[in-house]
């Protein structure tokens, strides 16, 4: 088990940058399949990014209230190892996707629904928690009270997101005690284009943070067939 939280770099749109994030130490790469996001990728682009990181890191598809058949199609097309459900998806969908062999991460929000109180309704592989403010379903770079994540009523691992940067990640980990951290805009030049120096800085800060006890891993680079 890792002595520090695992690291997911989300919102990748370029193969070379995905490979650079993995080379820097990222445990997972996030691909956004939500048309309204400026970081949205097509199936073809997702498949090329999958080729660039194959067997080296988990590949997580981010969906917002997508139909199950769409999720399954993209899991196959882009060889995803995990899915992140970032809308108001029902617990039954979480259960079915888990039974297919996928890691399933369900998002909960401090400022909108589904809120933290809904944790008891789900049994995902992990919960991603963030503030939920702004015009898009993601964190929108809003910092929030990360300590609220530590009080979540669940035994599932926690993935912390929302307002993270290389300069506050130690404070955020101390407050939330997550199993993994997830960053996108905090290491970008512009939406979908990462600043690899910032990515390296962020990863170094997380890797230098040693927890008192080992953490349960969330991400794996392999999955069962869907």
Q: What is the mean pLDDT of residues 128-155?
A: 76
- Residue 213: which of 27, 25, 3 has the closest Cα? 3
Tokens of 192: 């979908």
Helix (H) or strand (E) holding 62: strand 58-63
Query: Which has more confidence, 116 or 224?
Result: 116
pTM of the model: 0.92
Position 212 scores a pLDDT of 66
Is 16 exposed, middle or buried (CB count within 10 Å of its CB: 0-12, 13-18, 19+)? exposed
Report phi then psi at 177, rounded to 5: 55, 55
For the segment 105-114, what is each residue's pLDDT rounded down to a tens digit? 999 998 889 9
Position 131 confidence tier, pLDDT thresholds 50, 70, 90: confident
For the chain, the structural domain boundaries read 6-207
Cα 78 to chain centroid, rounded: 16
Q: Please determine, for residue 51, whether its predicted confidence score (pLDDT) is greater than 80.
A: yes
Choose the CATH number for 6-207 among 1.10.760.10, 3.20.20.70, 3.40.50.970, 3.40.605.10: 3.20.20.70
Band (173; pLDDT cuts 50, 70, 90): very high
Angle at which helix 169-176 crosses helix 196-207, to 10 degrees, equals 40
- What does the pLDDT read at residue 43? 97
In this model, does residue 121 exceed pLDDT 50? yes
């Amino acid at each position: 088990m890792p002595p520090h939280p695992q690291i997911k770099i989300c919102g990748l749109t370029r193969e070379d940058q995905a490979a650079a994030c993995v080379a820097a130490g990222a445990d997972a790469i996030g691909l956004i399949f939500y048309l309204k996001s400026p970081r949205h990728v097509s199936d073809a682009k997702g498949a090329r990014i999958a080729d660039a990181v194959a067997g080296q890191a988990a590949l997580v598809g981010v969906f917002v209230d997508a139909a199950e058949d769409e999720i399954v199609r993209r899991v196959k097309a882009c060889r995803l190892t995990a899915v992140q459900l970032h809308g108001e998806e029902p617990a039954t969908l979480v259960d079915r996707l888990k039974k297919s062999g996928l890691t399933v991460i369900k998002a909960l929000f401090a400022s909108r629904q589904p809120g933290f109180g809904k944790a008891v309704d789900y049994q995902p592989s992990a919960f991603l928690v963030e503030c939920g403010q702004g015009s898009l379903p993601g964190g929108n770079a809003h910092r929030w009270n990360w300590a609220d994540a530590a009080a979540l009523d669940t035994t599932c691992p926690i993935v912390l997101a929302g307002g993270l940067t290389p300069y506050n990640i130690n404070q955020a980990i101390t407050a939330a005690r997550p199993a993994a951290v997830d960053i996108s805009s905090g290491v970008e030049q512009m939406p979908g284009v990462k600043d690899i120096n910032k990515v390296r800085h962020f990863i170094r800060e997380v890797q230098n943070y040693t927890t008192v006890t080992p953490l349960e891993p969330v991400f794996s680079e392999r999955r069962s067939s869907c």
